Amino acid sequence: MPTHTPSRSTSGPAPGAAPAPRKRQPNGADLVIRLLERQGIDVIAGIPGGANLPLYDALGRAGSIRHVLARHEQGAGFMAQGMARVTGRPAVFFATSGPGATNTLTAIADAKLDSVPVVCITGQVPLSLVGSDAFQEVDIYGMSIPVTKHNFLVRSVEELAEVIPAAFRIAASGRPGPVLVDIPKNVQMAPVDQAVFDNPPLPGQPAPPPAPDPAGISRAAALLDAAKRPMLYLGGGVVASGASDMAVQLAERAGLPTVMTLMALGAMPAGHPLSLGMLGMHAARHTNLLLAECDVLLVAGARFDDRAVGKAERFCPQATIIHIDIDESELDKILPVHCGITGDVGLALAELLPLLRTRAEAGREAWLTRVEECRRRHPFVMPGADDPRTPYGLIRCAADAVDHDAIVATDVGQHQMRTAQAYPLRGPRRWLTSGGLGTMGFGLPAAIGAALARPEATVLCFTGDGSLQMNIQELATAAEEGVNVKILLADNNALGLVRQQQELFYEGRLVASSYRRKVDFARIAEGFGVPAVDLDASEHPLRDLADALRAPGPCLIRVTVPAGANVYPMVPPGADNLHMIGGEPEPGDAMPALSEDDDDSDTHADATGGRHVHA
């Protein structure tokens, strides 16, 4: 952003003369900062540049909001997501126009798919230049339409007072999501009426959630009461609506075995007798087997993602499905449901709960006994859980060393699926993972954001060597801010989950899924100012792990894991959920019989037919 300063020395006030103290008239940028303060924003992640410098100037003058200087705008976006995911409130990030703005798009798309309320504020070239291919001009408004819940290009300073509160209202109302506000530089610099500045509009608040239709609720109650083998299926919407406790109470009252999507983990605490953990592609065998037996399925705040339900037509073939979601367009989208209820999940469950027959009244013991039997016969196997130098052991031993309030972030890959399977999450809003978009590089910046919002908590970030390298520059931010983020790196020097798919579904042809050179991550971390522990070299790995997790501030804990260790069970993409590969109790056992009508000829699953797989 070249600035041209004319050098006129003869006229005007003498250089160095103190200007008369005069109240400066606020501008658009000052108003934005004022409105953000009023929204309760106290931390903003971002990166400055030519087109958002007035905003930064105003931020600096106000001095009320802590700014965290990210090293990449995608990192800033994921930091905002980390804050929003643990608090449930919209978080803000800043980027400049052009490349700054395009760099935010992945983080915004990620927030859209996981329904995370974030507000991205981008600087734009002055309105007079918009559309002229000016320096660092891109049409971020147009580019972000499909990945935002809503977006704005602010065309006058008067609109700001309306747009900023609206952005927060939209981000947090109904099904939450990302909102982008693009503010041209001239709008940021335009003078604002002192009166408007002194009496800004009220902060934007989420609209009251829509009340569920009472007729639908009583129909759902009747269906559940008559069920012999009912189950409860929780999605991320349960966490978003703060309905986790309500869901647990409802499950307990009616005796409903409960499964969770990747997004909902923690909604029912791990270890709860009714919890069957995650469903779908990497579920425990008994979880998918039992779903196929259920006769009535209550789905709350979920969207039947293909990673959860597998081949949709074969999902829960015997079940009558009740679906509650705040987003009407999710009803009947993937599966025709028998009873669709549009409304806030928390309100709907609260209304449903007192109507339901209790576990005893409904005579659920036979079903619950069957659930226990299936769980015993097809347990989840977790080899090496006691040894922190194994893929599962790293997760379990770290969990043992921290308290129940620890926050857990992951990146994307085998380590993510293992963490989802093995980490005992005890409550909602402690689990940060890129579910819908599956974005490598999410983990570290999201963990930093979580730590900024919850400085008292320990934040664990389970990552892989591939993912960590996608936003590794944020190690510098972690060191600078001193955040309490513990990076647990399962280093297989490979894109493990890709390698796994090539092994299983592409006849073992491994292409571009492992690295030829090893990276010395401990040295890299130390170079960024983050202390590192290499468990490979440790004589007392358990003790060193616990010590590293206890020490305040960021650190990186690294362990080598074998690239060939696959995550099991696995349902091949496109197959139905009974078509699970691996994950049997004893390696060497024959594959358990699949469903009777197991003739999925249109999947890649056949490539593994009869193959011996080690869990």
Partner 1 sequence: MSMPDTATPDRQHLSPRPACPTAVAPDARPLVALRLTVNNHPGVMSHVCGLFARRAFNVEAILCTPVNGGQVSRIWLLVAEDERLEQMVRQVRKLHDVLDVRRRPAGGEGFARLAECMAAWERETAGQ
Ligand X SMILES: Cc1ncc(C[n+]2csc(CCOP(=O)(O)OP(=O)(O)O)c2C)c(N)n1
Binding footprint of Mg ion on the chain (CB under 5 A): 464-466, 492, 494, 496
The number of beta carbons lying within 10 Å of the beta carbon of residue 585 is 14
Q: What are the DSSP E strand ranges found in 188-306?
A: 230-234, 258-260, 275-278, 296-300
353: number of Cβ within 10 Å: 17
Stretch that binds partner 1, among 118-126, 139-147, 199-207, 544-552 (CB under 8 A): 139-147
Distance CA 600, CA 615 (A): 23
Minimum CB separation of residue 180 from partner 1 in Å reads: 11
State which of residues 131, 142, 508, 592 lies at the interface with partner 1 (CB under 8 A).
142
The first and second tokens of residue 184, run together, are: 């041209």
Q: CA-CA distance, 525 to 533, in Å (whole number)?
A: 10
Sign of the dihedral through C-alpha 47, 50, 52, 56:
positive
Query: Applying CB under 8 A, which of residues 1, 69, 145, 215 lies at the interface with partner 1?
Result: 145
Q: Please report where in the chains the tokens 């900024």 appear, as a residue.
A: 452
Q: Does 150 bind partner 1 (CB under 8 A)?
A: yes
Instruction: Give strand pairing partners of 232.
Output: 258, 298
Nearest CA-CA partner of 112 in 73, 88, 145:
145
Query: How far out from the chain centre does Cα 563 lie?
Result: 26
Q: Closer to partner 1 at the Cβ: 159 or 225?
A: 159
Q: Closest approach of Cβ 586 to ligand X, in Å?
A: 25
Among partner 1, ligand X, Mg ion, none, partner that 498 touches (CB below 5 to 8 angstroms by kind)? ligand X
Asked whether the beta carbons of 8 and 174 are under 8 A apart, the reply is no
Burial of 469 (0-12, 13-18, 19+ CB in 10 A): middle
Token look-up 């260790």 returns 565
302 is in the binding site of which of ligand X, Mg ion, partner 1, none (Cβ under 5 to 8 A by kind)? Answer: none
CB 110 within 8 A of CB 437: yes
Which residues 460-499 are close enough to bind ligand X by CB under 6 A?
464-467, 490, 492, 494-498
Residue 327 partner contact from ligand X, Mg ion, partner 1, none using kind-dependent CB cut-offs of 5 to 8 Å: partner 1
**x/- map, 178-217, ligand X, by CB under 6 A:** ----------------------------------------
Q: Which is nearer to Mg ion, 148 or 471 (CB)?
A: 471
Interaction between residue 208 and partner 1 (CB under 8 A): no
Work out how close the CB of 527 gets to partner 1 at its nearest, in angstroms, rounded to a whole number: 43
In the bound complex, what is the minimum distance in angstroms from residue 159's beta carbon to ligand X?
35
Task: State the minimum distance, in angstroms, from the CB of residue 507 to ligand X.
Answer: 19
Instruction: Give the nearest distance from C-beta 170 to partner 1 in angstroms.
Output: 6
- The window from 173-181, 367-375, 435-443, 534-542 that contacts ligand X (CB under 6 A) reads 435-443
Beta strands in 110-261 (DSSP E): 118-124, 150-153, 179-184, 230-234, 258-260
Overall size of the chain counted in residues: 615
- For residues 147 and 109, the answer to whether their CB atoms sit within 8 Å is yes
Question: Which candidate, 370, 300, 390, 282, places its Cα nearest to that of 337?
Answer: 300
Binding mask 311-350 for partner 1 (x = CB under 8 A): ----------------xxx-xxx-----------------
Which residue's CB is nearer to Mg ion, number 398 or number 453? 398
One residue of 13, 15, 16, 146 binding partner 1 per CB under 8 A: 146
Torsion of CA 269, 416, 82, 181, to 10 degrees: -120
State the Cα angle at 439 between 436 and 443, rounded to 5°.
110
**Binding to ligand X, residues 388-427 (CB under 6 A):** 411-415
Q: Which of the listed partners (ligand X, partner 1, Mg ion, none) does 311 bind, with a CB threshold of 5 to 8 Å by partner kind?
A: none
- Which amino acid, one-letter code, is at 18? A
Minimum CB–partner distance for residue 444 and ligand X (Å):
11
- How far is Cα 67 from Cα 79, in angstroms, rounded to an integer? 12
Token digits for 327?
């987003």
Q: Which is nearer to partner 1, 163 or 567 (CB)?
A: 163
142 binds, among partner 1, ligand X, Mg ion, none (CB under 5 to 8 A by kind): partner 1
438's contact among ligand X, partner 1, Mg ion, none, with CB below 5 to 8 A by partner kind, is ligand X
How many C-alpha atoms does 573 have within 13 Å on its Cβ side?
Answer: 8
Instruction: Give dist(CA 46, CA 131) in Å, integer.
Output: 25
Which of partner 1, ligand X, Mg ion, none does residue 300 bind to, with CB < 5 to 8 Å depending on kind? Answer: none
Q: Which of 220, 440, 545, 570 binds ligand X (CB under 6 A)?
A: 440
**Nearer Cβ to ligand X, position 237 or 413?**
413
Q: What's the closest the beta carbon of residue 184 comes to partner 1, in angstroms?
A: 14
Least distance CB 37 / partner 1 (angstroms): 25
Residue 384 interacts with, from ligand X, partner 1, Mg ion, none (CB under 5-8 Å by kind): none
Cα separation values, 205 from 16, 162, 269, Å: 47, 13, 30
Residues binding ligand X: number (CB under 6 A): 19
The helix, strand and coil proportions of the chain, stated in percent and rounded to the nearest 5, come to: 40, 15, 45
Which of Mg ion, ligand X, partner 1, none lies near 150, with the C-beta cut-off 5 to 8 A by kind?
partner 1
User: Among positive and negative, which fits the CA dihedral 419, 421, 424, 426?
Assistant: positive
Q: Residue 141, interface with partner 1 (CB under 8 A)?
A: yes
> Footprint of ligand X on this chain (CB under 6 A)?
411-415, 438-440, 464-467, 490, 492, 494-498
> Footprint of partner 1 on this chain (CB under 8 A)?
141-142, 145-146, 149-151, 153, 170, 327-329, 331-333
